Chains A and B, each alone.
Chain A
């Protein structure tokens, strides 16, 4: 499933990184601990988190993930948006909780 297909399916907000919306999502990881994400997330995955600061983009680009999804209706910080635009990494948002949206994405990827 491509990032933009997921955006449509779950009515996600696209904050920035539109150029990356054609990327394929290979899996996902849900965590708010950056070291944990560094250790466990893999190329092409979507990262689900409540963190909104710019370091999420550093992790996202270093690990070549397909998108960052911010939960609970939170918005990325201004610096995060700026970096997301520079790096073409989609930063997405949802009003759902991490638990709910992870479950939905898991099902969608499983049923592909």
Chain B
């Protein structure tokens, strides 16, 4: 099964749409609630990252019998130093985004904590692709 969602930079009303839909699907499939929670936390953070930093992006969720693979691809500024971006507390979010309670530098670390596998591929000035894999077993 594959699901696809679109995201727009700056449009926070769409952030959470993909994660809430995926949550419903996983619930219907009777996946362990603990695993569902981890998946949706990671996906929500990744959605917010696109809305807060990129110009536009897509979320593709591939569901297999034993795992879910989330691929978030954006057109955006890219991440010059991924290691630095992974550090808790480091953020490049705008002050407007911070005022909403985002941009605490916890998004990427939260994603890493909540999935089995996180791969980030980024090109400065072009965009970022984030792949997250979670096994159900």
Residues of chain A at the chain B interface (Cβ within 8 Å): 32-36, 38-39, 43, 49, 51, 53-55, 58-59, 61-63, 79
Asked if B128 CB lies within 8 Å of chain A CBs, one says no
Dominant secondary structure of chain B at its interface with chain A: helix
Shortest beta-carbon contacts, A-B, top 4: A58-B16, A35-B106, A33-B104, A34-B101
Chain A residues near B58 (CB-CB < 8 A): none
Binary CB contact string for chain B from 3 to 45 against chain A (1 if under 8 A, 0 otherwise): 0000000001101100110010000000000000100110011
Question: Are B37 and A63 in touch, CB under 8 angstroms?
Answer: yes
Residues of chain B at the chain A interface (Cβ within 8 Å): 12-13, 15-16, 19-20, 23, 37, 40-41, 44-45, 48, 100-102, 104, 106-107, 110, 113
Chain A residues near B41 (CB-CB < 8 A): 38-39, 62-63
In the bound complex, what is the Cα–Cα distance between A67 and B23 (angstroms)?
A: 19
Nearest CB in chain A: distance from B53 CB, A? 14
Chain B residues near A63 (CB-CB < 8 A): 37, 41
